[in-house]
Structure formats: structure tokens, C-alpha cells
Amino acid sequence: MSKAIKLVSQSKCYGGFQCVYEHESSILKCTMKFGCYLPPQHEKKKNLPIVYYLSGLTCTEQNYIMKSGFQRYAAKHGIVVINPDTSPRGFDLPGEHESYDFGSGAGFYVNATEEPWKTNYRMYSYVTGELPTVVASNFNVNVGKSAISGHSMGGHGALIAALRNPGKYKCCSVFAPISNPSECPWGVKAFTGYLGENKSSWKQYDATFTAKEYDGPKLEILLDQGEDDPYLNDKQLLPENLANACSTNKHINLNFRMQPGYDHGYFFIMSFMEDHFNFMAKHIC
């Protein structure tokens, strides 16, 4: 596995640097980009905590960097923030670019098992394995002090990463996650395409199922959901199903907050970003 990275861009921000790097991914078999915010503490202090942020459908690494305002809070707490792209790029597989909710920009953070996706669409292994190894090899971070966060499809990915890897992430912070993908149109489409028709294989990538089976160190989860989110009304997100599953597991503490008047977009995310960084800092700083 190559651990070499190349700097694509760098801008000073709140005393630190907002960077974008690229590297050759052996898991995905393509060049991948990821955002990396290095807080001002990075120059003088080693073993900084890490937050991984996973974006939603159609996004690249740029959306979170440009729209969320997270850098202010990462600088305050001295947290390195890593946010990868949402899918492999550059293969032009049949049907890869035909819809916004499958293929390019929509990797769903699973390891595909179906052709033609299984060779490259392995975002679960990339996010939980290869990317952290690359980060640990290149930056002054403490891998034992990691948190994971995400929005929508990325919220689904963050939940799955935390629930399937007990102790790897000290906490999980999510905005409007796809909480029960086996039961919603987005998830059924993606899981059928990437994982096949056997729905029993879907459960490993469904937070509502994995929450019931989680047996590890106490996992703290903060979930914010806008009450005026159109995808909530369309039954794409189903956070109530996750809440019910978590309520039966003593190893999970879910703080589920409904936010009146907020929708699914980045104005919603930036409104509660400070809360989420304060929450994560409590567990990793």
C-alpha cells in the first residue's frame, strides 16, 4: 500500500491550513483526493486528535471544505480534520454517471460485491482502513483519538464505520443520516446494485441493524435532524428506526435532536457545527 501523498492546494485558515491532497489508492485502484485541515497546533504539537467527515450524495471533498465552516472549531480545539471524496473516480463504468444516487459521487461507503462495481467501489475499506493508514503516516495525529462524522449518505457511512469497528472511533456525529438504508428508496437502489438481491447481506451496512448487534465500548452518538427536511418526509432517512434500535442497546448512547425549521442542506449543517465539534472534542481532546 502506497502511503505517499501529493499536495494539491493549500490556503491559510484560522491560523492553520486547509489543504487538499491526492494519493494512489490500492483499495479503489484510482487517484483519490481528500481534504485535510491542519490546525495551528499541528506545527508544534504531535499526536493531535482526528475527525473524519464523510459527505453525502453528489459531493466531492470540496463541499464540506467550502460550505460548513468547520475550520473555526477545528482550530479552536486543535483537531486535524480529514474528509475524503464520496466515490472512486475515472473509470466510466456502464451506468456510473447516469443518476445522482448511484455510481459516481454515490459510493455509499460499502464494499461492493457485484460486477462491475466490486473491483473499485470499496469505500468502506478505504474509509476505515487505507485512508487512516495514509493519514497516520503523513501527519502528527493520534490514531487512538479519532471521531467520525457525516451527513446524509455520509452520516450512514459514519454510523456504519463506528458501529462495525468498536473502539476505533471514540464518538460519532451525524447530520440527517440515512439511518435504515435497507428500507428506503436510496438505500434499496444502491444496495441492490452494489451488493446484489440477497437482502441478508445488506444488514452489515445498515445502522439500524448493526446498532442492535453492537457490543463494544460505550459509543456516544450525536444525531441532528431538521424537521423540515424533505427527505425525512419522503422516508429516505428513517432516523426513528435507528433511535428505536439504539434504545435497546446499553452500549450505545444516542442523543437524537429534532431541529425545527431546518432542512437537509449546508445551512442546517453549519448551524450546528459548533455543537458537533464541542461534542467530539469532549471525547477525543
Q: What is the grid cell recorded at 195? A: 451488493
Q: In the annotation, is 25 catalytic?
A: no
SS3 of 275, please?
A: helix
In a domain, 142, yes or no: yes
| Cα angle 35-37-42, degrees, rounded to a multiple of 5 | 140
Question: 55, 146, 152, 173: which is the annotated catalytic residue?
Answer: 152
In a domain, 233, yes or no: yes
Residue 273: burial class (beta carbons within 10 Å; 0-12, 13-18, 19+): buried
In a domain, 1, yes or no: no
CATH at residue 81: 3.40.50.1820
In a domain, 67, yes or no: yes
Question: 85, 206, 224, 229: which is the annotated catalytic residue?
Answer: 229
Residues 195-212, mean pLDDT to the nearest whole number: 97
Q: What is the pLDDT of residue 46?
A: 79
Residues 102-126, mean pLDDT to the nearest whole number: 98
At 2, the pLDDT band (50, 70, 90 cuts) reads low
Q: In the annotation, is 276 catalytic?
A: no
Concatenated DSSP letters of 170-231:
SEEEEES----GGGSHHHHHHHHHHH-S-GGGGGGG-HHHHHHH--SS-EEEEEEEETT-HH
Lowest-confidence pick of 39-43, 44-48, 70-74, 226-230 = 44-48
Using only the alpha carbons of the chain, give its radius of gyration: 17
The pTM is what? 0.97
The partner residues of 52 in beta bridges, in order of sequence, read: 82, 148
Q: What is the grid cell recorded at 79? A: 483537531
Question: 42, 77, 151, 264: which is the annotated catalytic residue?
Answer: 264
Count up the domains in the chain and report the number: 1
In a domain, 197, yes or no: yes
Whether the predicted pLDDT of 4 surpasses 80: yes
Q: What is the pLDDT of residue 1?
A: 59
pLDDT (tens digit per residue) in 143-199: 999 999 999 999 999 999 999 999 999 999 999 999 999 999 999 999 999 999 999
Q: Percent of the chain scored above 70 by pLDDT?
A: 99
Q: In the annotation, is 200 catalytic?
A: no
Residue 160's domain spans which residues?
6-284
Q: Is the peptide bond before 239 cis (omega within 30 degrees of 0)?
A: no
